């Protein structure tokens, strides 16, 4: 699943194939695709707003004029906390500090929602009030709390085996044999690389 086209030096589309919204937030880090430097991906013009819509936290068409650098900083902070917790678990390193921040964000009330009619009379989801940063953070934080406190879900956490990817995803495949965050992206890259290696061997 992908979202609206983004801007800047990062992939033109946010990806939402981790299986949980909290993991999709973790996947926005530049390190996810082995990028050790460069600007913060969420800080690009409109990037966080696009991610919020793509992740389904905000209905498409919702005005997001209030999204600014302060929002980005808070989402980056939560992202780093979730990343630390899903990779190390509580009690390891700085994970306790991360858990404290996660729990604080989860205590806020999520946005109120309503079913309203659009121009064609179809019921669509809408927010009851302009979205606030704390309320949207609460949605992601609560999803992370649900994940971290569910032993079955935690047992399905995997890190992508792609050479240039460190995305964490939820493996819900039959037999729990999923190897990549996305078969269309990382899986296809490996298949192409394997084909090239075979072709090179035949030519030598």
Contact between 131 and 111 (Cβ < 8 Å): yes
Query: How do residues 164-202 score in pLDDT, each as one tens digit?
Result: 788 899 998 887 778 778 766 786 776 665 656 555 555
CB proximity list for 23: less than 8 A, separation 6 or greater: 82, 86, 147, 167, 168, 169, 170
In a domain, 40, yes or no: yes
183: in domain: no
Q: How many whole angstroms separate alpha carbon 161 and alpha carbon 46?
A: 30
Count of structural domains, the chain: 1
Looking at the whole model, is its pTM more than 0.85?
A: no
Distance CA 160, CA 25 (A): 15
Q: Is 9 among the domain residues?
A: yes
Residues spanned by the domain of 71: 2-155
In a domain, 106, yes or no: yes
With the CA atoms of 99, 142, 151 and 54 taken in that order, what torsion angle do they form, in degrees rounded to the nearest 10?
-110
Sequence-distant (6+) residues with CB within 8 A of 86 are 23, 26, 144, 147, 148, 157, 168
User: Does residue 164 sit within a domain?
Assistant: no
36 or 155, greater pLDDT: 155
**130 lies in a domain?**
yes
Does the residue 56 lie in any domain? yes
In angstroms, rounded to a whole number, what is the distance separating the alpha carbons of residues 101 and 37? 25
Three-state SS across 88-155?
HCCCCCCHHHHHHHHHHHHCCCCCCEEEEECCCCCEEEEECCCCCHHHHHHHHHHHHHHHHCCHHHHH
Please indicate, yes or no, if residue 162 is contained in any of the structural domains: no
Strands, E, within 128-188: which ranges?
157-159, 168-170
Give me the pLDDT at residue 16, please: 92
Average pLDDT score over the chain? 84
When pLDDT is cut at 50, 70 and 90, the band that residue 18 belongs to is very high
Indicate the burial class of 5 (C-beta count within 10 angstroms; 0-12, 13-18, 19 or more). exposed
Residue 14 gets the label, from left (phi > 0), alpha (psi -120 to 50) or beta, of beta
Q: Please give the Cα distance from 183 to 17 (Å, whole number).
A: 10
Q: What tens digit of pLDDT does each residue of 75-127 get?
A: 999 999 999 999 886 666 678 899 999 999 999 999 999 999 999 999 999 99
* Domain CATH for 121: 1.10.3300
């Amino acid at each position: 699943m992908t979202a609206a086209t983004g801007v800047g030096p990062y992939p033109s589309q946010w990806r939402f194939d981790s299986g949980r919204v909290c993991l999709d937030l973790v996947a926005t880090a530049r390190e996810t695709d082995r990028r050790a430097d460069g600007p913060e991906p969420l800080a690009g013009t409109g990037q966080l707003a696009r991610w919020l819509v793509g992740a389904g936290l905000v209905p498409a068409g919702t005005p997001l004029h209030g999204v600014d650098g302060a929002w980005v900083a808070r989402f980056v902070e939560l992202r780093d906390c979730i990343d630390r917790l899903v990779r190390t678990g509580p009690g390891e390193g700085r994970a306790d500090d991360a858990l404290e921040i996660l729990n604080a964000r989860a205590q806020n009330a999520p946005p109120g929602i309503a079913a309203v009619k659009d121009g064609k009379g179809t019921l669509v989801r809408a927010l009851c009030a302009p979205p606030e940063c704390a309320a949207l953070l609460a949605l992601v934080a609560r999803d992370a709390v649900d994940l971290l406190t569910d032993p079955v879900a935690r047992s399905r956490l995997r890190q992508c085996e792609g050479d240039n990817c460190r995305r964490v995803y939820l493996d819900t495949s039959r037999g729990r044999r999923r190897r990549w965050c996305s078969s269309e992206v990382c899986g296809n890259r490996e298949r192409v690389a394997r084909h090239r290696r075979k072709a090179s061997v035949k030519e030598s």
